[in-house]
């Protein structure tokens, strides 16, 4: 081992280096580490357990299992804490803190003496943050996810967070379910440790991490409480040690080819719209950019093969039992770049060589018998979204794909909350609901794009309407919803010019979203635009000053690009 490794790694290069090492060793001794242990290479374990993160409840046993793998392979495991982001506990939205966690991860990986790192995340923003941090720190890294929850049961029906949360809440709003039942369901939606039980953002990102090659093959879908999850943790620790002897850096694993493969898998699993933003941010850390036109090409060529909620019927436990990411990769093999390499050193083509013994075709379809012919997600463009917008066609109502309607405008989150259920609101089923002021700068881009159907329409049986915004929506949500309109209204994008009663046209066929108002009139209206006053101090001020729009992954402008910290 070279002297830059192990406990000597990253020693200050001023003053007396031998004394610095002596001091460090004596402090390490206070943790009960023998000289023998201190001679070994070190694997850091980024742990993200938190009393505010239910999805990471198994963190202690995962850390123990990773440590076991590291020790058995002859290195010294060193767990260390970083920011943890529990999706439903963060205000105003976890999205604001993804970049903070990525910076924390990058800097702690870089600053502390470790030769490789295992990053343990799971809940929506944590895996993107860790992958972004790992890409920028660019030391050998293995991503391990906490894994999805098992389903609960309610009157003979399976329930999983959080598609069924929304489904039941929708029924409750429509008066189809009583208070007693919704209370009962509350305790049956999320009943085990782990991330949401459907193909939401967390599970999509787990599949993406595996496809990129940053997680162990076969590990994305293992349920949180399954013994295989601990075996994968142990093997992740061992793999990190192997990576020290045979270095493969994140920048060699996350390449244009592996990112394109990840987009393919995103389409085939009909994953979360959020994953587009996150994968863009991860790739952006290494200077990789997949244009919207390429995204649409990938989407049009890649059928949806997985029948899971929120688009289909099953849950992540079914996906795991059906064959997981490996089964998907084999079905779309002819569309993949087979030369990518994963953390174990295996080339994708070799991984896919042996056929799987059995695949549950109820859950993972054959390529020519898909759930739907085309990928779940597309990018739209138009005068209202010059830099693009995202639409999840697989979770939308085909009858609404070609819609022209009257805009009913909500000017920010508070306005939406105040008026959406107002019985006097002038709104009909064929209207297009528009939310502005929910983009990255204006509001941190919360999952507000799933605008509730106004109560009076819901009670009249309206199940879906076209809804458009500069916000995101939960990966577990569904509906005919246009998201991530860029530039956002808060940055003076044309969305800011939409007025109540304007006509808007959505065409999924043409991949367009347009405001049927002349360019001159839009420009005139935007003359009046004045940016809102933002935060004056602290992280929120930094966020608002430097956050990029959705097509750039909502990363901070000073964090994109590759490599080491600029000096």
- The residues of the shown chain that bind ligand FES, judged by CB under 6 A, are 55, 87-88, 123-124, 195-196, 200, 202
CB of 566 to ligand FES, least distance (A): 34
55 binds, among ligand FES, Mg ion, none (CB under 5 to 8 A by kind): ligand FES
Closest-approach residue to Mg ion (CB): 474
Tell me the angle at which helices 163-173 and 179-186 cross, rounded to the nearest 10 degrees. Answer: 170
**Of the candidates 446, 394, 396, 130, which has an alpha carbon nearest to the alpha carbon of residue 271?**
394
Distance CA 348, CA 435 (A): 42
118 binds, among Mg ion, ligand FES, none (CB under 5 to 8 A by kind): none
How many angstroms separate the Cα of 479 from the Cα of each of 202, 307, 453?
Answer: 19, 17, 10
CB of 186 to ligand FES, least distance (A): 15
- Taking the least distance from each CB to ligand FES, the nearer of 200 and 284 is 200
By the 10 Å C-beta count (0-12 exposed, 13-18 middle, 19+ buried), 546 is classed as middle
- Taking the least distance from each CB to ligand FES, the nearer of 202 and 259 is 202
- Taking the least distance from each CB to ligand FES, the nearer of 237 and 271 is 271
CB of 46 to ligand FES, least distance (A): 17
Distance CA 54, CA 529 (A): 41
CB of 196 to Mg ion, least distance (A): 6
Looking only at the bridges linking them, the beta strands covering 141-145 and 116-121 are parallel
Distance CA 296, CA 302 (A): 10
474 binds, among ligand FES, Mg ion, none (CB under 5 to 8 A by kind): Mg ion
CB of 509 to ligand FES, least distance (A): 33
123 binds, among Mg ion, ligand FES, none (CB under 5 to 8 A by kind): ligand FES
Residue ranges that bind Mg ion, judged by CB under 5 A: 124, 200-201, 474-475
- Taking the least distance from each CB to ligand FES, the nearer of 78 and 309 is 309
CB of 277 to ligand FES, least distance (A): 16
3-state secondary structure 138-181: CCCEEEEECCECCCEEECCEEECCCHHHHHHHHHHHCCCCCHHH
Please report the DSSP string for 230-271 in residue order. HHHHHHHHHHHHHHHHS---HHHHS-HHHHHHHHHHHHHTT-
CB of 366 to ligand FES, least distance (A): 29
- Taking the least distance from each CB to Mg ion, the nearer of 200 and 314 is 200
- Taking the least distance from each CB to Mg ion, the nearer of 114 and 202 is 202
Distance CA 277, CA 554 (A): 7
CB of 421 to Mg ion, least distance (A): 24
387 membership: H or E segment, kind and range: strand 385-392
- Taking the least distance from each CB to ligand FES, the nearer of 125 and 484 is 125
- Taking the least distance from each CB to Mg ion, the nearer of 201 and 211 is 201
260 binds, among ligand FES, Mg ion, none (CB under 5 to 8 A by kind): none
**Of the candidates 415, 417, 471, 411, which has an alpha carbon nearest to the alpha carbon of residue 440?**
471
CB of 412 to ligand FES, least distance (A): 25
Distance CA 122, CA 140 (A): 20
88 binds, among Mg ion, ligand FES, none (CB under 5 to 8 A by kind): ligand FES
- Taking the least distance from each CB to ligand FES, the nearer of 88 and 462 is 88
Pair of tokens at residue 226:
């399954």
CB of 205 to ligand FES, least distance (A): 9
First to last CA, the chain: 28
Distance CA 7, CA 37 (A): 9
3-class SS of residue 467: strand
Distance CA 3, CA 18 (A): 11
- Taking the least distance from each CB to Mg ion, the nearer of 41 and 200 is 200
Distance CA 62, CA 47 (A): 9
CB of 315 to ligand FES, least distance (A): 13
Looking only at the bridges linking them, the beta strands covering 466-469 and 481-486 are parallel
Distance CA 403, CA 55 (A): 39
- Taking the least distance from each CB to ligand FES, the nearer of 104 and 124 is 124
């Amino acid at each position: 081992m070279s002297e830059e490794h192990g406990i000597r790694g990253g020693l200050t290069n001023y003053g007396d280096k031998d004394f610095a090492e002596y001091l460090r060793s004596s402090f390490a001794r206070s943790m009960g580490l023998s000289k023998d242990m201190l001679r070994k290479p070190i694997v850091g374990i980024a742990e993200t357990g938190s009393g505010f993160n239910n999805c990471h409840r198994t963190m202690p046993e995962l850390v123990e299992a990773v440590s076991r793998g590291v020790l058995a392979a002859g290195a010294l495991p060193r767990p260390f804490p970083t920011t943890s982001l529990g999706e439903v506990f963060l205000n105003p939205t976890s999205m604001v803190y993804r970049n903070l966690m990525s910076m924390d991860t990058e800097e702690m990986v870089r600053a502390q003496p470790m030769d490789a790192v295992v990053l343990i995340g799971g809940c929506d923003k944590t895996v993107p943050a860790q992958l972004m941090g790992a890409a920028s720190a660019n030391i050998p890294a293995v991503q391990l996810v906490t894994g999805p929850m098992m389903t609960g049961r309610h009157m003979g029906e399976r329930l999983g967070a959080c598609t069924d949360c929304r489904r039941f809440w929708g029924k409750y709003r429509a008066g189809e379910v009583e208070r007693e039942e919704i209370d009962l369901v509350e305790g049956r939606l999320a009943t085990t440790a782990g991330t949401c039980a459907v193909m939401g953002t967390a599970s999509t990102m787990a599949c993406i991490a595996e496809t990129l090659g940053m997680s162990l093959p076969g590990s994305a879908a293992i349920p949180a409480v399954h013994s295989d999850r601990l075996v994968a943790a142990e093997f992740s620790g061992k793999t990190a040690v192997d990576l020290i002897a045979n270095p493969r850096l994140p920048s060699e694993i996350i390449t244009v080819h592996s990112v394109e493969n990840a987009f393919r898998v995103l389409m085939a699993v009909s994953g979360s719209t959020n994953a587009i933003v996150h994968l863009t941010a991860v790739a952006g850390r290494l200077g990789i950019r997949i244009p919207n036109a390429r995204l649409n090409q990938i989407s049009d060529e890649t059928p949806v093969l997985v029948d899971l909620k929120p688009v289909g019927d099953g849950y992540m436990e079914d996906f795991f039992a059906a064959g997981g990411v490996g089964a998907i990769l084999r079905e779309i093999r002819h569309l993949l770049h087979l030369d990518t390499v994963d953390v174990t050193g295996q080339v994708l083509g070799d991984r896919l060589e042996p056929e799987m013994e059995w695949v549950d075709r109820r859950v993972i379809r054959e390529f020519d018998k898909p759930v739907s012919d085309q990928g779940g997600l597309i990018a739209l463009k138009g005068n209202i979204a010059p830099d693009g917008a995202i639409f999840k066609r697989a979770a939308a109502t085909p009858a609404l794909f070609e819609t022209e309607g009257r805009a009913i405008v909500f000017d920010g989150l508070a306005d939406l909350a105040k008026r959406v259920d107002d019985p006097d609101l002038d709104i009909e089923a064929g209207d297009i609901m528009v939310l502005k002021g929910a983009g990255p700068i204006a509001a941190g881009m919360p999952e507000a794009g799933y605008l509730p159907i106004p109560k009076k329409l819901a009670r009249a049986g309206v199940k879906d309407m076209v809804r458009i915004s500069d916000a995101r929506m939960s990966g577990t949500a569904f509906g005919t919803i246009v998201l991530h309109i860029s530039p956002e209204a808060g940055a003076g994008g044309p969305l800011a010019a939409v007025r109540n009663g304007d006509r808007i046209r959505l065409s999924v066929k043409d991949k367009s979203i347009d405001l049927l108002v002349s360019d001159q009139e839009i420009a005139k209206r935007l003359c009046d635009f004045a940016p809102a006053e933002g935060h004056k101090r602290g992280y929120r001020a930094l966020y608002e000053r430097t956050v990029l729009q959705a097509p750039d992954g909502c990363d901070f402008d000073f964090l994109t690009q590759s490599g080491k910290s600029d000096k």
